[in-house]
Amino acid sequence: MRSVTKDRQRFIAHGLVERDGAFLVLRRRDGRYFGGQWDIPGGTVEAGETPAVAAARECLEETGLRATVGPKLSHFQNRDTEGGDLTFNTVTFRLHLVDEDTEVRLSPEEHDDYRWMQPTNPDGLPLVWHVGRTLGVLTLHQQR
């Protein structure tokens, strides 16, 4: 699978899934990029995909949850952390579960635990950077 690049841009799509006021977070398996940190379903946008379609696909692949795509919540850009001539675009969408009663089934190659976390992260979970920033953006919008 080739990832989408244009003008040295790479798009990563994520989905924020909410159930009963809590958000689904996944612990990234140790030994992987951001290992031990808590993330939300997501991954590389594949050739021919839109970021919205990729967010729903990644959610299904990583959790077994079918979802429809809601509004875009955040879009962050950052340079390649390994020094390459590449800009990453991390886009997060609100995802709405098709079936609220479906149980989470993790992709064991990528994640080893999950939780339904309150938006304020009261347990102080170590979140991947974009998750914390997206929750901050969401909180600002809710306070307005």
Task: Give the integer Cα–Cα distance in Å for 83 and 37.
Answer: 22
Q: Which CATH number fits domain 9-143: 3.90.79.10, 3.40.50.2300, 3.90.330.10, 3.40.30.10?
A: 3.90.79.10
Strand, coil or helix: 111: strand
Measured distance CA(116)–CA(19) in Å, rounded: 8
| pLDDT digit string (tens) for the chain, length 144 residues | 445 544 589 999 999 999 999 999 999 999 988 999 999 999 999 999 999 999 999 999 999 999 999 999 999 998 887 788 899 999 999 999 999 999 999 999 999 999 999 988 888 999 999 999 999 888 665 555
Do 73 and 137 contact (CB within 8 A), yes or no? yes
